[in-house]
């Protein structure tokens, strides 16, 4: 690989040692999709420790886009103590809460991406009411409950321009493979008539917005 989706060895080492849930094949597909997106503003929902942010941020820097990565940094349900994806090393001893922001900042510093990526520390419910910037790339990988997954899609995908790309992670058509909300989001997007599917790589779906008109809820 020599295109904008080719990740330099130093950044790959940083991404590989960063905690997160993004297998190599999906990371490669995410960068390849992003390399096809127009520059401008890109938004990632669900930073965690910034593993996928390194992959996306590298492509953003290469093509001249700016990446905003949004997370409240207290983890999703499945990351909390007693749940399947809990990592006790991410607990803040002062609060007893999961606290991934220092890890994400460290990751971006090590990757040399602090100039190309802005971390936005808030819940999507806090940001959605005031967000108004058009988006060229949106990566939905935040909270996977039905309510929040649907909220994040409905409130941010409307800001995608015609031709912009929507990536959705953890899409499992078969409930035996994982939770259903991201799959429901993909079905909703395709069913709205405003998106077409570009690619499928394991649990990563890439869609393209084909229609500027937003039929799925209020106009932007």
Q: Which positions touch Mg ion (CB under 5 A)? A: 21, 141, 169-170
Computed from CA positions of residues 191, 194, 197, 201, in that sequence, does the dihedral angle turn out positive or negative? negative
Q: How near is the Cβ of 169 to Mg ion at its closest, in Å? A: 4
Report the nearest approach of Mg ion to the CB of residue 188 (Å). Answer: 18
Least CB distance to Mg ion at residue 174 (A): 17
Nearest approach, Cβ of 212 to Mg ion (angstroms)? 28
CA-to-CA dists, residue 130 to 100, 133, 186, 215, angstroms: 24, 9, 24, 20
Quickly list H helices, 23-140: 24-35, 51-63, 101-111, 124-127
Interaxial angle between packed helices 51-63 and 24-35, expressed in degrees from 0 to 180 and rounded to the nearest 10? 20
Give 3-state DSSP helix, strand, coil % of the chain, rounded to 5. 35, 20, 45
In the complex with Mg ion, the residue whose CB is nearer, 161 or 201, is 201
CB of 208 to Mg ion, least distance (A): 20
Nearer to Mg ion, 194 or 204 (CB): 204
Q: Which two tokens stand for residue 103?
A: 């890890």
For Mg ion, which residue has the nearest CB? Answer: 169
The residue count of the chain comes to: 220
Looking at 58, 144, 159, 169, which residue is catalytic? 144
Residue among 58, 36, 65, 73 nearest 164 (CA): 36
106 is known as an active-site residue: no
Minimum CB distance to Mg ion smaller for 139 or for 195: 139
Between residues 61 and 141, which has the closer beta carbon with respect to Mg ion?
Answer: 141
**In the complex with Mg ion, which residue's Cβ is closer, 4 or 20?**
20
Q: How far is CA 103 from CA 11, 81, 106, 152, 179, in A?
A: 15, 18, 5, 24, 26
Catalytic sites, residue numbers: 144
């Amino acid at each position: 690989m020599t295109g904008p989706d080719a990740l330099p060895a130093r950044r790959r080492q940083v991404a590989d040692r960063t905690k997160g849930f993004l297998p190599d094949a999906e990371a490669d597909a995410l960068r390849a999709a992003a390399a096809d997106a127009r520059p401008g503003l890109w938004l990632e929902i669900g930073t965690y420790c910034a593993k996928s942010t390194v992959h996306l941020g590298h492509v953003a820097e290469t093509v001249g886009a700016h990446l905003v990565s949004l997370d409240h940094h207290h983890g999703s349900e499945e990351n909390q103590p007693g749940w399947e994806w809990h990592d006790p090393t991410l607990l803040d001893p002062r609060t007893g809460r999961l606290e991934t922001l220092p890890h994400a900042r460290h990751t971006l510093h090590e990757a040399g991406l602090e100039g190309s990526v802005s971390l936005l520390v808030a819940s999507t419910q806090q940001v959605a009411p005031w967000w108004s910037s058009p988006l060229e790339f949106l990566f939905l990988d935040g909270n996977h409950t039905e309510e929040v997954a649907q909220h994040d899609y409905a409130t941010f995908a409307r800001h995608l321009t015609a031709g912009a790309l929507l990536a959705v992670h953890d899409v499992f058509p078969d409930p035996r493979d994982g939770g259903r909300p991201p799959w429901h989001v993909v079905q909703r997007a395709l069913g709205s008539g405003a998106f077409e599917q570009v690619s499928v790589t394991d649990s990563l779906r890439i869609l393209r917005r084909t229609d500027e008109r937003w039929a799925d809820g209020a106009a932007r």
